[in-house]
Chains A and B, each alone.
Chain A
Amino acid sequence: MNAAMSSNEPAAAMQDALRAAGTQAQHIGALWNGTLVLCTLVFVAIVVATIVAVWRAPRADAATRPDTTSLEGPEHRIWRRVGWATGAAVAGLLVLLAGDVFTSRALARLPLRDAVNIELVGHQWWWEARYRDGDPSHEFTTANELTIPVGRPVIVTLRANDVIHSLWVPSLSGKKDLIPGRTATLRLRADRAGTYRGQCAEFCGLEHALMALLVHAVPPADYEAWAARQRQPASEPADPVARHGRDVFLGTSCVMCHTVSGTPAQARTGPDLTHLASRQTIAAGMFPNNRGYLAGWIGDPQALKPGVNMPANTLPPDDLQALLAYLETLR
C-alpha cells in the first residue's frame, strides 16, 4: 500500500482477487492457483522447445539450398512428436475444463439457508441498496455501503435503471452485471470480518472510474444491531442548529432528490440519506464522510466528481453549517 496515504483519505479497503475473504472468492482463488501452475508449465515448455529448436538448428543464409525432401515423402518422426505434443495439449485442456466445471459446481452449492437478501440497483454513478425481508417493516434502504454478517450467505439481487453496471467485490466474489430490464443474482458469503472495496466493472459513462462500493463484513450480532438502527427513521434533532439544518434540507432542492425517512423528504433520485452519518464515505465510496468533504460536495459536487448528476448548491454560510450539523445527526 502507498505510504503517502493521508488520514483524510478513506481507509484502504481490500480490493484484491488474490486475497480472498469469502467462500466464493476462495473457490475461484483455488482454481486460479491450479490454472496458473498448469499454464506456467506449458508456457515454459513451449518457450524452451522454441529456444532449443533455434539453438540446435544449424545456421544458413539466403543462398543455402532449401531442403525439400519433406515434399517427397512424409516425415514420420516429426509428425509423431507433433502428435504427442498435441495429445498433451488436449489433456491439459481437459484438466482445465474439469477444473472450471467443478469450481462452477462449488460456487453454485453455496448453502443459502438464513440468507440476507439485498436488492442492489446501479445508478450513474452510485449504488442503491434495499435490504429485503419477509416482514416489510424490517426493510430499509441505504446507499454505496453494504453491511453484511460474517458467515451468513448474502443473496444480492442486481438491477439497473439507466445503463449497465457491474458489481465486483473481488475479495468476496466474482463479478456480475446489472443490466437494465434484467434481474441477476449474486450469492456470496464473507468468512472474515473486514471492509472490502468493490468497484463498478462495466464501463458506465463519464464517472465509471469513481463508482466504488464498500462492503463491511461484521459479526452477526453487530449486523443485527446495525440493521436495527437502519430500520429506524431519522430522529428529531435536539440541537437548534441541527433543527435549522433540517429546515434548510426540507426547504431547498435537497428534498427534490433525497430521502430522509421520518421527514417529508421521500424522493429517490439520489442516495437515501436517512443514516448518512453512519457511512464512512460519500460520493460512491470516493471521499471520506467528514464535514470538510461534505461541505465541498454540497457546494460544488462537479469539482470532486465532474459530470455527477447532483447540482451545485449555493447556500449562505450559516445555512450550510446548519445543514452539515443536521446531516451529522443522521446516524
Chain B
Amino acid sequence: MTAPDPRHDTLERRMPRADPAAATALERTWRDPPGIIGWFAAINHKTISKRFMVTTILFFLAGGVLALLIRLQLAQPNAGIIGPDRYNQIFTMHGSTMMFLFAVPVMQAVATYLIPLMIGARSLAFPRLNAYAYWIFTMGGIMLYAAFFVDAGPDAGWFAYVPLSGPQYSPGKRVDFWAQMITFTELSGLMEAVVIITTILKLRAPGMSLNRMPLYVWTMLVTSFMVLFAMPSVMLASTALITDRLVGTHFYNPGEGGDALLWQHLFWFFGHPEVYLIFIPPLGFISSIVATFARRPVVGYPAMVLALVTTAFLAFGLWVHHMFATNLPELGKTFFTAASLIIAVPSAVQIFCWIATLGSGRLHVKTPLLFVLAFFFILVLGGLTGLMLASVSLDTQLHDTFFVVAHLHYVLLGGAVFPLFGAFYYWFPKFTGRLLNERLGRWNFWLFFIGFNVTFFPMHLLGLWGMPRRVYTYPAEMGWGDMNLVASIGAATIAASVLLFLVNVARSLRVGAVAGPDPWGAGTLEWSVASPPPMGNFEVIPVVHGRYPLWQPQPEPTHVEGMSNEWREVLVTTVADAEPDHRLWMPSSSVWPFLSALATTVLFVGSIFTPWAVVWAAVPVAVATTIWFWPRRAVVRERVRSELRP
C-alpha cells in the first residue's frame, strides 16, 4: 500500500495483513494463467467484471450513437436523412441495446466486481459460471450488431409486439435475431443472478450478519431475486415467438386461437420489474456515495432495506399499466393504478432518508456526490410523471407519446445512468488505482445534467401536443419542429459530455492521481484493500463487527486464521448470521466456460436458421460443458487430504 496517512495507519492497524510470502503465494494462487489461452481462461471475478463493464459501456456508446441518429432525423419536420425502414431498425436497436445490452447487465457487471470486496470474500461463488455468463452475453450482443450491420437488424421495437413481430408481418430473420438476443442476455442475466445470490448469502465474511450488510449488497440481493422471477417470463414469451416464427406454432395468432395480448402480459410481467432491475442497484450506489460524502451512515438502515424489499414485491404488480389502452376491464385497471401509486412510497422513504442523511452530515462535495444530487432532481421529476402515467385516464392521453419517452428517460437516466456515472467516479480508483480528474468530472457532470434536461424536458410538451412515439417523421404544420430541434441540440450536448468522460478515463488511467486504498475515507470493506485489489482480494479474511467496519472500532477477533494460500480456498458462512460453516475450494481457471459459450452460441444462432440446430449443436454444448465439469484427479486427492476428520 502507498501513501500512508493517519487514516490508513489506523486502517492498517485494524485490518491485519499477511506476511509478504503468504501474500505472494495468495496472489499466485488466485492469478489467472498468462498468455492468449490464459486470457480466455480467466475467471477471476475482477478480470471478468472489468471486461463485462467495458463491454456494456461499449454497447452504451453504440446505443448512444443510435440515439444521435434518431435525434438527427427528428430535428426537423419531413426530414429524409433516414428512411422508415432504417429508422425502425435504429430505434429498435437503440431500445434493445440500452435495455438488454447495457442497463441490466452493467449493474450485474459492477456488482460482480464490488460484491466480493464489500462482503469480505475472495471470490464470487461459481466463478466459471460467471465467466460463461459474460461470454454468452457478449456473443449475444455481437450477434445482434452483426445482424444490424448486414441490414437484418430487428425493426419491430424493443417490445416486439405481436402480431407485428410475428411471421406474417415481419418476414425474414430480423425479429429472429432480436428474439434470440433475448435468449442470450436472459440466460446470462439468470446465471449472474444465481452467482450473486449465492455469493451474498454464503460467502460473507464472518460476522457480517444480514443486518450488517452494506445497503448496496442488499440492493443486489433484492435485484437478483427479482431477476429470477422476472426473466423466465420474457424467455417464455420470446421462445414462444421464435417457435411461432420458425416452426409454425400459433401462440400469438388470433386466427388460430392464439392471443395477441398474451405477449404483452408476458413481456410486461418481465418488463416492468426490469425497470426496477435497472433502478434498484443504483439506489445502492447512492447509499454508498451519500454515506461516504456526508461522512455518516445512511439514516434509517432498516427502513432502507424494507423499502427495497417492498419495491421488489410491488414491482411485480404493475405490469398492466403498460396496457391501459387495451380493452382489459376498466375496474381491474384501477387496481394497477393503485399499485403503481403505492410503489412511490418506498422510493419516497429512501429519498427522504438520503436527504436527511445529507442534511445531518458534513459534506465532502466531489463529482460522485454531484451525480447523486442530480438524482434528486431528475429521478423525482421522472417519478412524478410516472404517477401521472399510473392514472388510467391520464395514461390514455399520454401513453405511446413523447411524454412517455421523456418519462422513461428521466427515470432510467436519472435513476440509473446518473448514479452509475457517480459510481464510476467513486469506484474508479478501486478498479484502477487512480482517481478520475475532478475538473473534467465537473464538466462531464454539468454538460450531462444540462444536456439531459434540454433533450428530454421538451419531450413532455411534444407528447401533450400530440406527438406519438416511434415515428420517423412528422409534418411541418404540426408545430413540433422547434421543440424537436431543441431536443436534438440537447442530445449533442450529452454526447459531448460522454466524450469528455471517455477522455477523462483515458487520461486518468495514465496520469491520474494515485488513489491509495481509501481515497474517500469510506466505511465499507472494499476500501480496506489495495487499489486495485490483489487477485485474492483480502490477504486475510476480515471478521466484521458492524455496518461500517472501517468507521467503527474493530474488536477481537479481527480476522480468520488458517485459510490456505496454496489453493483457492474460501470460507462459506451461514445465510443469516454469517457464522463460519465450512471451507470450499474454488475451481481453477479454465478455458472451457469460453468454449462452452462458443458452442452455445452456435446452437442459438444456428436455430435461427433451422430447428435442427437445436439437435446437432447440442452435441458440442454437451461435450464442452462435460469437460468443464470433469474433476481433476490430483485436485480431488489434495482436497481429500486437506480435510480435517474428527
Among the listed B156, B358, B392, B466, which residue makes an inter-chain contact with A53, where contact means beta carbons less than 8 Å apart?
Answer: B358
CB–CB B396/A16 < 8 A: no
User: Which of chain A's residues 181-207 have a Cβ closer than 8 Å to chain B?
Assistant: 181-185, 197, 199-207
The answer to the question of B334 belonging to the interface, with a C-beta cut-off of 8 Å to chain A, is: yes
Known: A57-B363, A203-B157. A28 touches B295 (CB 8 A): no
B400 at the interface (CB under 8 A from A): yes
B344 within 8 A of A: yes
Which of A32, A49, A185 contacts B355 (CB under 8 A)? A49
Beta-carbon contact of A174 and B472 below 8 Å: no
Q: Would you call B362 an interface residue if the criterion is a C-beta within 8 Å of the partner chain's C-beta atoms?
A: yes
Question: How far is it, in angstroms, between the C-alpha of A26 and the C-alpha of B520 when the chains are bound?
Answer: 55
* Residue from B164, B358, B373, B518 in contact with A205 in the complex, judged by beta carbons closer than 8 Å: B164
> Nearest Cβ in chain B — how far from A15, in angstroms?
4
Contact B520 A62 (CB under 8 A): yes
Complexed CA–CA distance, A205 and B166 (Å): 12
Query: Hey, which chain B residues are within 8 Å of A2, CB to CB?
Result: 77, 476-479, 481
Residue in B77, B297, B345, B473 with the greatest tally of chain A CB atoms within 10 Å: B297
Known A-B contacts A47-B377, A75-B299, A209-B473; the reply to A175 vs B400 at CB < 8 A is yes
Known: A12-B478, A58-B362. A66 touches B84 (CB 8 A): no
Determine whether the beta carbon of B330 is less than 8 Å from that of A50: no
B142 within 8 Å of A (CB atoms): no
| Contact status A103-B377, CB under 8 Å | no
Nearest-Cβ distance from residue A76 to partner chain B, whole angstroms: 12
Q: List B contacts of A43 (CB < 8 A).
A: 380-381, 384
B85 at the interface (CB under 8 A from A): yes
CB-based contact A307/B295 at 8 Å: no
Decide: A9 and B352 in contact? CB cutoff 8 A. no
Interface residues of B in 78-102 (CB under 8 A from A): 83-85, 88
Inter-subunit contact A204/B84 (CB<8 Å)? no
For chain B, residues 261 to 293, give those with C-beta under 8 angstroms from any C-beta of chain A. 261
User: Cα distance A283–B405 when bound, in Å?
Assistant: 27
Contacts A43-B384, A61-B364 known; A70 to B326 CB distance under 8 Å? no
Residue count of chain A within 8 Å CB distance of chain B: 98
- Interface residues in A54-81 by Cβ distance below 8 A to B read 54, 56-68, 70-71, 75, 78-79, 81
A266: interface (CB < 8 Å):
no
Q: Does B255 contact A (CB under 8 A)?
A: yes
State in angstroms the CA–CA spacing of A27 and B352 once bound together.
Answer: 33
Residue B424 lies at the interface, judged by CB distance under 8 Å to chain A: no
Residues in A whose Cβ lies below 8 Å from that of B472: 209
Contacts of B352 in A (CB 8 A): 81-82, 85-86
- Closest Cβ–Cβ distance, residue A204 to chain B (whole Å): 6
Report the stretch among B446-454, B532-540, B546-554, B578-586 that lies at the interface.
Answer: B546-554
Q: Contact between B359 and A96 (Cβ–Cβ < 8 Å)?
A: no
* Complex A-B: 28 CB contacts under 8 Å: A2-B479, A16-B466, A31-B393, A54-B358, A58-B362, A64-B295, A66-B295, A66-B521, A67-B361, A70-B297, A79-B300, A81-B352, A93-B342, A96-B341, A96-B390, A100-B334, A100-B392, A103-B391, A104-B393, A162-B169, A163-B161, A176-B396, A181-B255, A199-B466, A205-B164, A208-B471, A209-B470, A307-B84
Known contacts A17-B465, A39-B387, A46-B355; can you find 14 more A-B pairs with CB under 8 A?
A: A2-B478, A9-B476, A17-B463, A46-B376, A47-B380, A52-B359, A53-B355, A68-B552, A71-B552, A78-B300, A174-B393, A182-B261, A206-B85, A209-B470
